[in-house]
Structure 1
């Protein structure tokens, strides 16, 4: 069924499976990183060319490093300075086509899940990272990784060049960044409902998190840029595709959502751009979604918004 995350299955050793619909499995003792699909499945033999250190194996487990390059044939040469390409020309034409998706906090676990989903969809990807060299090792040349201070106008301008959509898998970017001129859609994965729903000691501990998340959402709403706020339940490290979903109001405060499912929904929201902005809650539940674009347009309509 199109649009439904398939269950993550234990892969056979040294095999890679992938197509146009994504889920992930990362076995420590296997040289494969499995991507599963509901249809058009292909098998590729993925063999290690040489022994790697234990530390490198751990990095591969976390980031999918050299494996991703073997899938797509990206070069394995790494410049000494850790940069994939020279910095973009400051005088580059500002009227260039905006077809890229910028992922903020690309070093984070869920940020990497979003990036991998975008790569499989053959999307042009840019990512804000803390370690540019590590990002290149993880994703090769299929991601334009950038490290810098988003409060710095020249850096932010370079980061946003050619960007159509921004996906924020965590809070923190929007409230600190400057102008997002030219961006046509911002997708924010928010944990505000979870923070507000906490009680007792957790409520005290999450006080700062609530303020940060509220500031992030209010900054986005005030920006004037079309936005989609995905208020997810408590994010958990559960395999994607094993459960359905629930979009009931108030569900995010007490429910949970797998990180893989959350990353998948962020990517699916790219093509559903509202004229203004809207938000919805989502947790894992019983409802199956066969057509995400149609479903998101329905949620948009309920929120009183029309698509572009």
Structure 2
């Protein structure tokens, strides 16, 4: 798990005293496995030089970057939103002004594998990130002050209200949150990573194993559609533990049921959807394929327009 790795990162890697910035090769600051501007049409910040005995994966490389220390965080511009004991700063207020600034992205299931990948993509995007987690101490050790972590019962309206303070967009990388939460008041966009199509394509024993997940996915989609909040449902193919940024994509109808997609790519698509908020609802399928996407905003806008034309 990414969080478990992050907790022991500082003891397993030795950084140079000055923590210099350097690129391993031109155009790909994070090394060959990290998605470059050529792969995703985005620019990533420079890589922190470190010494490791083995070749690091994408998530390990990003976490090395995060663990660069206070000087690097000051350069990066991360807000000091967590105190030294790992607890979030409490305001002690239950009522928040209606005109409060909403610029944060809340990631549900922040300590799940998919949740962590979405968080790392958001950090690279320099977004203000909040995350629902089970253990705030572990999340603090993994992400430092880059993420405001909250732990609590999502069926508790008071906790949910606190979690949603300042939140503009919610990203749900796993099923179950929307089925249990009550009001989403103030939220302007919800992005749901749904494997409903992939679950529906299962048969026999696999179908039985995924029956509960399928039920939760169905409930989440149904709740979201009647919530009144603008939403994007990303129906992906089966999620795979393969490197991201290596393959293209397909958005053809039926690709989610029959295809697959790298977990890293799926997390990136969730974050790309932040820049394309629909007026009401937007549903599309995605799997790894042959099409390279150079401009995600343009790509998603085009898909949204096609979807709207079908509904007219």
Q: CA 1:41–1:297 in 2, change beyond 3 Å: closer, same or farther?
A: closer
| Contact kept in structure 2, 1:245 and 1:286, CA below 8 Å | yes
CA distance in 2, matches of 1:41, 1:170: 26
Counterpart selection for 1:251 from 255, 264, 284: 255
SS of equivalent to 1:303:
helix
| Contact kept in structure 2, 1:231 and 1:279, CA below 8 Å | yes
Q: CA deviation at 1:83?
A: 0.8
Determine which structure has the larger helix proportion and give its number. 2
> Deviation digits for residues 243-275 of structure 1, max 9, x if unmatched?
000111111112110011001000000111111
Q: CA 1:296–1:86 in 2, change beyond 3 Å: closer, same or farther?
A: same
Partner residue in 1 for 2:297: 293
Counterpart selection for 2:287 from 277, 283, 289: 283
Q: CA 1:46–1:195 in 2, change beyond 3 Å: closer, same or farther?
A: same
CA distance in 1, matches of 2:48, 2:192: 37
1:58-97 superposed matches below 5 A: 64=63, 67-70=66-69, 71-73=72-74, 79-80=84-85, 82-87=86-91, 89-97=93-101
Does residue 263 of the first structure (1) align with residue 267 of the second (2)?
Answer: yes
| Contact kept in structure 1, 2:30 and 2:61, CA below 8 Å | no
Q: CA deviation at 1:37?
A: 2.6
The runs of 5 or more residues in structure 2 that have no matched partner are 1-13, 16-20, 52-58
1:177-196 superposed matches below 5 A: 177-196=181-200
The runs of 5 or more residues in structure 1 that have no matched partner are 1-12, 27-33, 49-59
Q: CA 1:122–1:292 in 2, change beyond 3 Å: closer, same or farther?
A: same
Q: CA 1:41–1:304 in 2, change beyond 3 Å: closer, same or farther?
A: closer
Backbone CA RMSD of aligned residues: 3.2
1:1-308 superposed matches below 5 A: 17=23, 35-38=34-37, 43-47=46-50, 64=63, 67-70=66-69, 71-73=72-74, 79-80=84-85, 82-87=86-91, 89-304=93-308
CA distance in 2, matches of 1:87, 1:47: 38
SS of equivalent to 1:64:
helix
TM-score, scaled to structure 1: 0.79
| Contact kept in structure 2, 1:69 and 1:140, CA below 8 Å | no
Q: CA 1:265–1:224 in 2, change beyond 3 Å: closer, same or farther?
A: same
Partner residue in 1 for 2:8: none
SS of equivalent to 1:283:
strand
SS of equivalent to 1:167:
strand
CA distance in 2, matches of 1:194, 1:187: 18
CA distance in 2, matches of 1:253, 1:22: 33
Q: CA 1:145–1:160 in 2, change beyond 3 Å: closer, same or farther?
A: same
| Contact kept in structure 2, 1:105 and 1:169, CA below 8 Å | yes
Alignment coverage as a number of residue pairs? 274
Deviates further, 157-166 or 62-71? 62-71
Q: CA deviation at 1:199?
A: 1.2
